[in-house]
Chain A
Amino acid sequence: MRYSIRAAVILALTFGVAITPFVMTDRYILRILTFVGINLIMVAGLSLLFGYAGQISLGQAAFYGLGAYTSGYLAKAGVPWLLALVGGVAVAAIGGLLIALPSLRLKGHYLAMATLGFGEIMLFFFTETESVTGGSNGLRGIPAASIGPLEFATPVAKYFLVWSVVGIVLVLAANIVRRRPGRALRAIHGSETGAQACGIDTVKVKIQVFVLSAGLGGLAGVLYAHYVGFVSPSTFTLHYSLILVTMVALGGMGSLGGAVAGTVLLTLLPYVDAIIPGLPRSTVELIQDWTNDIYGMVLILVMLFMPRGLAGWATSLVARFGGRDRAGGSVHQGGGA
């Protein structure tokens, strides 16, 4: 029965994502929802690395930046978008490999500090290598994404491009976590020695998940660069990396669905006015002013009182109400709404 609930939720969400641009024609809302999609790709990568394998990264923004700058630079030089995309993902993945190899023997706060340091160093290079990145002024005039004659220039087209990629990434990630590689990641999270004893090549798996999450970060960066048409260092900060960690933690470690929910909630938080139209202006401004406090408090409170995050909370809710309902009909409605 759990599977039918999940299928109903996924179907309903997919349908909702597909019809949104036709129901909500407001450009502002489409823009925000496109950013939700871009963040989802970032978080899918971080969820595999951190949520499943337990390898914390406080430097995901670096991969985001590597993808964005590489692809933006290539596209401006006249390289077709698909090739620029491959380049952006590849450079980010190589960055992931470079940080993964020496990080293999680091754990916990050592790994946290190493990834944080890597992120800050990359931010330094984004700012200082002016001839390539445009320095603190940024890289302007990046062309919109296009495949042959097909150009993703309008807000609706960009929305569908980003969310198609989101769909592919989430299906891929869900397949990883449900099958053998996902079990290997969870085993490493539980105990590396234990995982080794079960015949898992922990070194190989850790490098793979690092590179995969970096590549997904690069992919999100590529989409971002060609969506906004402009990249500057202020996007790729430690602050962004911390928000991504907050999204995974709120959703629940080791739950892809939870990470998705956490990402949607926290991305929309500063834009509550677009989602709930009737909200008074003063309330909206208050929430925007206190966004960072809320992110920080979410991190602390989730770790103290809800260590399994939204996913753990949803599971216990389904267990409580779903178990009693024989036909399961009302659960379907509740889940789909």
Chain B
Amino acid sequence: METSELLQLAIAGLKNGSIYALLALGFTIVYAATNVINFAQGEFYMLGGMFAVYAFTQFELPLLVSVPLAVLAVAGIGMLFETLAIRPRKDAEPMALIIITVGGSLVFASLARHAFGSDALPLPEFTAGPSFLFAGAAIERQTVWIWGIVLVTVAGLTFLYSKTRLGRAMRACMQNREAARLMGIDTARVVMISFGLAAALGALAGVAVTPLTSTRFDIGAGIAVKGFAAAILGGLGSPLAAVAGGLLLGLVEQAVIPFSSALKDVVALGVLLAVLFLRPQGLFRRARREKM
């Protein structure tokens, strides 16, 4: 295979991987605050794209207004979901919360079908124009947007965690929620904001990718599995590990394409099972004694 073809695969891998990274960050943030895996995370991705398409086509808002509006709206839905469906279950029994988020994923997908129909909906690229050429490989403008969004997100999260009061509260909850509450941190608020933040990141990924793939009411579950595979690869701990997990998964997926393009879709599932069965603490962490 020629170098330019390899480079093209690597670019596609880093593009998809960036999307998985944003989803993995969503899983990681919610898990840190609540010890819950949010099975509805993929629906936030779907809703992000849907809302942006809706604002752009129905209200005829400019794209660069539609996109942030969609992300904010989904963040609101994430917080509302936490308030109405997660928080009332006071004992926070993990199995019950899993089932609640599974139910949420069914409801979100189904409501989206009622609201937006069952067709695939397209969105134009954020900035129109020809692809960039780099050493014989083409980079779509939207791909550059996706990379930019991931970079800004990582920088923003780093700032949030290290420099702000809220970020410190979130890190305290991550270490020990009960102790954080005793120190006077409003843990209920931290949990709600974590859900909102995770929903916003999911929506951001969905909006960013819709110009390339279009969106449909039923794409949430499939992408959630990939995002979770990336999150578990990173070990569900630090945000940077989640991003690394996402990029790695994207690259591995592209690496199998020269052998069999049909296999690409099953790579994430294989990675997911392999990591869960062999190294449930993720690639970058030492094993803990307790059972997962």
What residues make up the interface of A, taking CB atoms closer than 8 Å to B? 54, 56, 58, 102-103, 105-110, 112-114, 116-118, 120-121, 124, 128, 238, 242, 245-246, 249, 289-290, 292-293, 295-300, 303-304, 307
Interface residues of B in 254-292 (CB under 8 A from A): 262, 265-266, 269-270, 272-273, 276-277, 280, 291-292
| Interface stretch of the complex, out of B46-54, B99-107, B177-185 | B99-107
Does chain A have a CB within 8 A of B221? yes
**Contact between chains at A117 and B272 (CB < 8 Å):** yes
Residues of A within 8 A of B114 (CB): 289-290, 293
* Cα(A317)–Cα(B98), bound, Å: 28
**Contact between chains at A108 and B103 (CB < 8 Å):** no
Digitize B74-108: 1 where CB-to-A-CB distance is under 8 Å, 0 elsewhere: 00000000000100110000111111101111110
Q: Top 10 nearest A-B pairs by Cβ distance?
A: A299-B103, A296-B106, A296-B107, A109-B37, A102-B277, A292-B110, A300-B103, A293-B110, A296-B103, A108-B94
Contact residue among A110, A128, A297, A300 (Cβ-Cβ distance under 8 Å from B292): A110
Q: Least Cβ distance of B116 to chain A in Å?
A: 14
Contact residue among B98, B262, B266, B272 (Cβ-Cβ distance under 8 Å from A56): B98
Contact residue among B106, B221, B225, B265 (Cβ-Cβ distance under 8 Å from A295): B106
What residues make up the interface of B, taking CB atoms closer than 8 Å to A? 36-37, 39, 85, 88-89, 94-100, 102-107, 109-111, 114, 221, 225, 228-229, 232, 262, 265-266, 269-270, 272-273, 276-277, 280, 291-292
Q: List 26 A-B contacts (CB under 8 A).
A: A54-B95, A56-B98, A102-B273, A102-B277, A108-B98, A110-B276, A113-B232, A116-B225, A117-B269, A117-B276, A118-B273, A121-B273, A124-B265, A124-B266, A246-B103, A292-B106, A293-B106, A296-B103, A297-B107, A300-B100, A300-B103, A303-B89, A303-B96, A303-B99, A304-B88, A304-B100
Task: Closest B residue to A128 by CB, please name it.
Answer: B262
**Contact between chains at A296 and B105 (CB < 8 Å):** yes
* Cα(A124)–Cα(B88), bound, Å: 38
Residues of A within 8 A of B266 (CB): 121, 124
Task: Closest B residue to A118 by CB, please name it.
Answer: B273
Task: Closest A residue to B105 by CB, please name it.
Answer: A296
Assuming A113-B228, A292-B106, what are 14 further A-B pairs, CB within 8 angstroms? Answer: A102-B277, A106-B280, A109-B36, A110-B276, A112-B98, A117-B269, A289-B114, A292-B109, A293-B111, A295-B106, A296-B104, A296-B110, A303-B96, A303-B100
